[in-house]
Structure 1
Amino acid sequence: MADQLRGWRCIEPLLLFLLLETLWGAGAGQIRYSVLEELDKGSFVGNIAKDLGLEPRELAERGVRIVSRGRTQLFALNPQSGSLVTTGRIDREELCAHSAPCLVSFNILVENNMKMYGVEIEIIDINDNFPRFRDEEVKVKVNENAATGTRLVLPFARDADVSVNSLQSYQLSRNMHFSLDEKSGADGQKYPELVLERPLDREKVAVHDLFLTALDGGDPVLSSTMHIRVMVLDANDNAPLFTRSEYRVSVPENIPVGTRLLTLTATDPDEGTNGELTYSFCNEEDKISGTFKLDSNLGEISTLQSLDYEESRFYFMEVVAQDGGALLASAKVLITVQDVNDNAPEVILTSLASSISEDCPPGTIIALFSVHDGDSGENGEILCSIPRNLPFKLEKSVDNYYHLLTTKGLDREEISDYNITVSVIDRGNPPLSTESHISLTVADINDNPPIFPHTSYSTYILENNPRGISILSVTAHDPDSGNNAKVIYSLAEDTFQGMPLSSYVSINSNTGILYALGSFDYEQVKDLQLWVMASDSGDLPLRSNMSLSLFVLDQNDNAPEILYPSIPTDGSTGVELAPRSAEPGYL
């Protein structure tokens, strides 16, 4: 086998040249490659940078990475060359068994713009597996009076490869009594049978040694051989007969362990031990014998362990009924597993912006997530939704990926935080659902100026006030946050009686308290008209103002003064003359 595999290595460059071509699917963002199995680690798969329209250096700059769920990563990105390469040897048979084609799917995420690209890689089979029989030697019993044309069921070979590399035919060693016939089952498996061509005589030959060879269709052809010992028995002239050649049953995956699935029935008209039948599996795999139990006397098949539709959807098996004289009959059994809704949908968050500016435009992407349901059919169909009263919407992306994006402008002063519930529900009966919560903070911008409760104020102060006394406190409110809401107070520049207003009063820029810088005299200043301004501390400050009327109240701080008659300045007593003829009431 080593020589044959070396032969494959010699033609690998040619096959790679022929097979590693990149195909863009009909849908945008779908990339397809093909690669042989069993290539060395680091083998070239495709130029992913070129197919994404990027230079190799841009892969790291844009945060390009592989996103896959639940499977061991088989491929990796080479940031130097921009290529997609293998991370190790890939065994197609371990990965896909007999499924053809063998496809591996994952997604490429471009982080900086949250774009997803689907990638599908077909693993091409090479002929690295021999057809193999379960046993190297098998004994087959046949009655000496068996009629010409009697068929004897033989163990079949299995080949882990697919297509032409899988099992193609059987060959029987030359002999006088038997020929070989092949039948193809519904599963595509080839079943060999010995056909009796000439009557047997146990007294002449009791044992016939034959060799059955299984061949595949690879180049070169691989094969294996099984030794068949045909034991000729004395007459038992009736073979068992099943009521049907094939039995089919369909059961839900959640049936209890030990449930009887079906009963096979065979009859034999012989008497005694020649008519006593025993049932057994033929060529059963470990998976069959570990999952099902066959009652050897009754022919009943029941479960030994729970069934799982997601693990295996159907089981093929062969049951043999053998009488005491070694005659037997076989019947095929197909057990189909029906899906039940036993898997709740999953939400997997891939990328999230936890904070977003309130001035972001509609259509801004907030999060990227995927949904998955392990069931199939309607049980695996998922509906994804968010509450309708939010300024967000869901938009389907590649595969089962969704974008969460804004539908209109946000206002931090109205709502500063959102707790978005993503609900996923399948269409099973009854349906299963899951909720996932996304928290989003709205970042503030300076879109609100400080606002005074009133556009104008008036206040009073007694004259002769002490210097530095506080007159009143003004307050403006800014609904923004941080520096955008930090208010600074100031007075508009103006003059009064030729003096700047700042020489009469001042204002604390942080508290908004107005102070008198000197003592007011009502006889000189009866009122002041001021403009108080409030400005926030944003990068582009916003401001507002209000008018303030300051009235000075009079105090009794001046004694009466006689203006006339005036007091003489020479120190004499003032004299006022009145005529002798003055009458009462004379002024």
Structure 2
Amino acid sequence: MLQTWMIQLLPMASFFTKLSSSFPQSTMLCTFRSTIKLGQYRLPKKVQWNDPGAHYSLINKEKLPKFPFSIDQEGNIYVTQPLDREEKDSHVFFATAKDENGRPLAFPVDIHVKVIDINDNPPTCPSKVTVFEVQENEIVGSSIGFFTAHDMDEANTANSILKYRLADQTPKVPSDGLFLIQEYEGKVQLGKQSLKKQDNPQYNLTVEVSDKDFKTLCFVQVNVIDINDQIPIFEVSDYGNMTLPEDTAIGSTILVIQATDADEPFTGSSKILYKIVQGDAEGRLEVTTDPQTNAGYVKIKKPLDFETEPVSSIVFQAENPEPLVSNVKYNASSFASFKLFVTDVNEAPVFPQLIFQAKVSEDAAVGTKVGNVTARDPEGLPVSYSLSGDKRGWLKIDSVTGEIFSAAPLDRETESLYRVRVVATEIGGSSLSSTADFHLALMDVNDNPPRLAKDYTGLFFCHPLSTTESLIFEVTDDDQQSFWRSQFTFALGRESLQNDWEVSKINGTHARLSTKHTSFEERVYEIPILLNDRGQPPMEGTVFLPVTFCKCVEGSCFRPAGSHDGIPTVGMAVGILLTTFLVIGIILAVVFIRMKKDEGKDNIENPQSPEARPLRS
């Protein structure tokens, strides 16, 4: 039977502390000792078998790399290495008893050792420096933050209870004791008065943290944060008059305005944002801020317009992104103005939109009105309209009204969305013009008969037929599918062919052409097929399927070589070959004769050569 013993051990009982218990004759008993014999380092437990001669050993149940316990042959258990509760607060192992032959005398004893905490760890700071921030208008008693130190000793015991005390404040301006800290809670508070950044922007505090045996010094930094208690003030309240032509480029800077703020530089309290609060309902202007100087750059955001707003009284407001404190308000010092005069410039006509769209049935009669466009000249001049890019000549436009009519038959299958450009030109002035696009969508009508989906000129059957044969063909239609819905009908084009051929429908687009007997001649048959698309109105057409009956070799049509167009016979081939050899022979003979003539000419021009000297007797 397995017994379990619980033992508590102080970590200071380090080397060779002794523990003991005993094994009874039939059961395992343990006896506790209330004290540790420090000189012997023996644990207060002993394991012992009732009969003499037992051999004791310990089993490292937890597989520790360094097992800190041992047992002697009297059953005394010792601590052989220092124990550290913060590293491991309990240990579990077995004690066994065997006879001199190594046979177990009893079941192993399961021993649990709990390491009791002692105050052997000083408090530690949460960081090298703990930083808090406080606004300069905070009232006395306001919480700045919580300072929390740590202790590795056992939690919720006297060894880990910490106390806090402010040991020092630097600088002591405007006085010492500006801060408090709660003794056990660690809450840091304002102690005497509200802070002002002008007095000092930063304070360094030394906090003493202690437990019952140790003391540690930690450091806290308190930064005083500026509050937004100053409003932006314009250097100039009236920037006078400005005159600009209405075609001034977008993005142009037309004015620089400047306000200042007495709050801390480069913070949300001193940053200035400018907005136009009056005189620019159309949003033609914008103001951007230089982050370094707080200067405001007034720019053109949208085109100016003399015809709609020739004079504008613009009012600016300067404000901070951070809210003002409750008792401070913006006033007239944060506002400035200027007057903008816009001069007239002759401008091209203006279309109300860039693309005009219309749709009409493709069978619309020539002269049908299909749409209209309008443009307005800013100076009030009359406008003349014309078309550009009408590559098919389908449209015409009324130059006065902008109405657009069909000028020729339309065809959706040729171009389903017809695009042209409309040109509006002012009459008089500088004859300036502008353009817009006109898109005409053509709606389909059922005006195309069905047709074969591909070329079927290569159809053939091997002659003679041994059984009836068939082939499959596909039909399509150039109209939109909504008109024929893939439901074609198929029939033979002549009644006289009904004894020889049969057409049967497979689905909406495919059909089968079959022979009804095997007695066909060896030639090409043009089979007429009558197709109907069942549209509204229905369109009907006849197509021809050329079917060849021919002798076959290995599954393909075969013809004798002499009967193929363009292919020479054997006699023709021999004649061509002999003619070729004759031409080559003539060419070689001419070359040889020319070489001989050139050789004789060389001998006459060079009489000293051995071949040219006369013979002597």
Same fold (TM over 0.5): no
Question: TM-score, normalization: structure 2?
Answer: 0.29
